[in-house]
């Protein structure tokens, strides 16, 4: 083996990083031009407001020659015009008696030589100059030039900055979503709509791997319609599709098609699909498609030709003679009933996904997503919060979490408590506590008995939801509230349960009658809700033994005249009278049942009302304890306040401790409850 020699190895050369070429900032020509236009406009305005003194025309002979011979010319100037018209301008020696200014004159002369001799003979000082040909022409065209420059910088430069699309009315306004990772929404950020996620997940997988689905002869769906109530997450799930799909995603609103110019909407539809074909396979999302896809039969009042042309163009592009595969339309609307039937058929919208309000499990999953950015306390029970929000949409739950975080931050807490979610839910549902709306003793007593009547009747009626809270603190337009906490989501209601709801609604009015021997306007909302439920039981649900299982609601509903404005009666006057009799019977039976319950438990009614007057808010367990034992709970006897007031009391104690540690010369103010 040959001996190894230590050969010095030169260090690797460092790669010189090339500096990016420095781009010189363009000269601010636009700013200079704007300042120039402003100065020119100011000078023109000043000249128009203060015009120079006009020269008085004068005849050469005999007026001018006589004034020269009399020595009345102060000074003058002979101007040789380029057009061959020579003239003399100057000032007279006498002044204007009104203004005190010199009088100017102008006179056309037959020739320069003759005038010069005349002025020399009379010892008049003068000078001769040749008139410029530029300035007269400039001042004549200056207003037009300035007007053109103003129009150029106001309109044409704006169109240039807008990419030349300002005058392109027929171009599509669809925006291509970028594939960057910033603010990217995926299916992991969407909860409570599992069925819709599965439908759209299949669409995304079809775009990524179409051969997997086409091997058995299947075709790609052309359109998916997302329908549901406002706030259920239609647009959010479309954004999740954009985040999941590795294909171009165009986003446009239905109102972007409709324009004041005739034919623009149809042109934009064609241009949008043309852009989609260039980027196929792709997804086009049309939000609020009901703005352009309404039924072409508009009933009374005629049609809208521009909207119909736009809809016809959309129908042809989605499924016409020259359609191509590779473009999937996803549309969202909360009014699927007003869409044109031709738009809803298979081949255009092959799948119609209805996004309903989330159920109990869905609400809990949505809460878990939104509380990721919120610092929660250990005592927060999201399941309980989800149970207390029946009928809430995803947007409502997001607002609930935000309100709870704001309430916790306002009281200076380190984390969000369960009480913050309770207060946020009440605030979203009924409004903020109106502490400034102080009730006097009589009104507070009346409200306490009213709410206690609701609580007792609901607790003693079968098939009613458990009590959660009773309060006499004014919120919104209500002076008090009795809240129930459903154990689960219910999609059907039996006659027994609906009757129990009617009895519970009558509890407040009956309590007023028993205790005060009078009725007030406090039960207005209760009576309205009870009447609506009773009418639905008779006319829609077929729960009347007298009228039988028949629908007595409105017949044909006019879409464009409103659901409740125009109704066609499909039954006789005799049936109408029987309907009224049945509604009265149901309401009166509920009223009598509520009276029987409260008269039997009058002592509990007075006990709960007195405790409500003292503590203002009671939870469901405390109310049930008083109903079962007839005694005040030990927690209230020991001076403990309800659970929802714990956080507020802790904040007050913290503020009091802080105030006590202040310097002695500063006054200590007692904190007031929010």
* Active site residues per annotation: 451
Q: What angle do CA 550, 552, 556 make, to 5 degrees?
A: 115
Torsion of CA 586, 588, 592, 598, to 10 degrees: 90
Is the Cβ–Cβ distance between 478 and 529 less than 8 Å? no
CB-count burial class (<10 Å; 0-12, 13-18, 19+) for 313: buried
Contact call for residues 293 and 249 (beta carbons, < 8 A): no
Helix (H) or strand (E) holding 124: none
Greatest CA separation found in the chain? 134
d(CA 435, CA 674): 8
Neighbours of 584 (CB within 10 A): 12
Q: Is 275 within 8 Å of 250 (Cβ atoms)? A: yes
At CB < 8 A and 24+ separation, what contacts does 313-322 make?
313/265, 313/266, 313/269, 313/270, 314/257, 314/269, 314/343, 315/340, 315/342, 315/343, 315/348, 317/269, 317/270, 317/273, 318/222, 318/223, 318/343, 318/347, 318/348, 319/222, 319/347, 319/348
Phi, psi for 591 (deg, rounded to 5): -65, -45
Which pairing describes strands 73-80 and 126-130: parallel, antiparallel, or unpaired?
parallel
The helix, strand and coil proportions of the chain, stated in percent and rounded to the nearest 5, come to 50, 10, 40
Q: What six digits make up the tokens of 290?
A: 């009901």
CB contact set of 311 (below 8 Å; sequence gap of 6+): 292, 293, 294, 296, 340, 343
Report CA-CA distances (Å) from 74 to 55, 92, 102, 124, 315: 14, 5, 9, 8, 86
Strand partners, 475: 433, 478
Distance CA 281, CA 401 (A): 39
Cross-sheet strand order for the sheet of 481-484: 481-484, 467-471, 617-619
Nearby residues of 447 by Cβ (< 8 Å), 6 or more positions away: 439, 472, 479, 480, 522
Q: Helix, strand, or coil here: 5?
A: coil
> What is the spatial distance between Cα 203 and Cα 245, in angstroms, rounded to a whole number?
9
């Amino acid at each position: 083996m040959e001996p190894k020699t230590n050969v010095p190895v030169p260090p690797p050369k460092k790669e010189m990083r090339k500096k990016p070429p420095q781009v010189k900032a363009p000269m601010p020509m636009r700013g200079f031009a704007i300042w120039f236009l402003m100065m020119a406009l100011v000078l023109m305005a000043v000249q128009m407001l203060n015009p120079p003194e006009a020269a008085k025309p004068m005849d050469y002979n005999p007026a001018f020659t006589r004034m020269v011979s009399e020595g009345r010319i102060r000074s003058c100037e002979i101007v040789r015009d380029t057009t061959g018209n020579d003239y003399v301008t100057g000032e007279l020696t006498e002044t204007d008696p009104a203004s005190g200014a010199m009088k100017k004159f102008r006179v056309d002369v037959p020739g320069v030589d003759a005038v010069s001799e005349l002025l020399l003979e009379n010892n008049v000082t003068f000078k001769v100059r040749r008139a410029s040909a530029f300035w007269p022409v400039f001042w004549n065209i200056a207003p037009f030039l300035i007007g053109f420059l103003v129009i150029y910088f106001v309109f044409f430069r704006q169109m240039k900055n807008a990419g030349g699309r300002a005058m392109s009315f027929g171009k599509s306004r669809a925006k291509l979503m970028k594939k960057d990772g910033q603010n990217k929404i995926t299916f992991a950020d969407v909860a409570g709509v599992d069925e819709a996620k599965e439908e759209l997940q299949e669409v995304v997988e079809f775009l990524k791997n179409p051969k997997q689905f086409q091997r058995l002869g299947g075709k790609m769906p052309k359109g998916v319609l997302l329908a549901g109530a406002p706030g259920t997450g239609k647009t959010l799930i479309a954004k999740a599709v954009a985040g999941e799909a590795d294909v171009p995603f165009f986003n446009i609103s239905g109102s972007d098609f409709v324009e004041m110019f005739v034919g623009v909407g149809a042109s934009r539809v064609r241009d949008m699909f043309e852009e989609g074909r260039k980027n196929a396979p792709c997804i086009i999302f049309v939000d609020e498609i009901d703005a352009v896809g309404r039924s072409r039969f508009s009933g009374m009042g005629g049609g809208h030709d521009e909207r119909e042309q736009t809809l016809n163009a959309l129908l042809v592009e989605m499924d016409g003679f020259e359609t191509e595969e590779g473009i999937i339309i996803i549309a969202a609307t909360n009014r699927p009933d007003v869409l044109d039937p031709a738009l809803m058929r298979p081949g255009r919208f092959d799948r119609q996904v209805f996004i309903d309000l989330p159920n109990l499990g869905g609400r809990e999953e949505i809460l878990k997503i939104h509380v990721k950015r919120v610092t929660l306390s250990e005592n927060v029970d999201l399941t309980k919060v989800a149970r207390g929000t029946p009928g809430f949409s995803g947007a409502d739950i997001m607002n609930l979490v935000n309100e709870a975080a704001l309430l916790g931050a306002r009281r200076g807490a380190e984390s969000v408590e369960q009480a913050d979610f309770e207060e946020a839910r009440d605030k979203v549902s009924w409004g903020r506590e109106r502490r400034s709306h102080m009730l006097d003793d009589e009104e507070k007593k009346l409200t306490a008995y009213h709410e206690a009547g609701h609580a007792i009747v609901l607790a003693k009626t079968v098939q009613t939801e458990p009590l959660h809270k009773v309060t006499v603190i004014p919120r919104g337009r209500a002076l008090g509230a009795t809240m129930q906490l459903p154990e689960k989501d219910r999609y059907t209601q039996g006659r027994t349960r609906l009757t129990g709801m009617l009895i519970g609604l009558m509890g407040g009015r009956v309590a007023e009658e028993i205790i005060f021997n009078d009725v007030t306007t406090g039960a207005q909302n209760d009576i309205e809700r009870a009447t609506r439920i009773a009418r639905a039981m008779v006319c829609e649900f077929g729960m009347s033994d007298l009228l039988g299982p028949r629908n007595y609601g409105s017949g044909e509903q006019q879409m464009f005249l409103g659901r409740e404005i125009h109704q066609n009666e499909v039954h006789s006057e005799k049936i109408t009278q029987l309907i009224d009799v049945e509604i009265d019977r149901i309401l009166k039976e509920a009223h009598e049942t509520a009276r029987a319950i409260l008269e039997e438990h009058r002592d509990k009614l007075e006990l709960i009302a007195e405790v409500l007057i003292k503590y203002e808010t009671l939870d469901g367990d405390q109310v049930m304890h008083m109903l079962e034992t007839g005694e005040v709970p030990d927690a209230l006897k020991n001076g403990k306040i309800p659970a929802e007031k714990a956080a507020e009391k802790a904040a007050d104690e913290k503020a009091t401790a802080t105030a006590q540690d202040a310097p002695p010369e500063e006054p200590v103010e007692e904190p007031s409850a929010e």
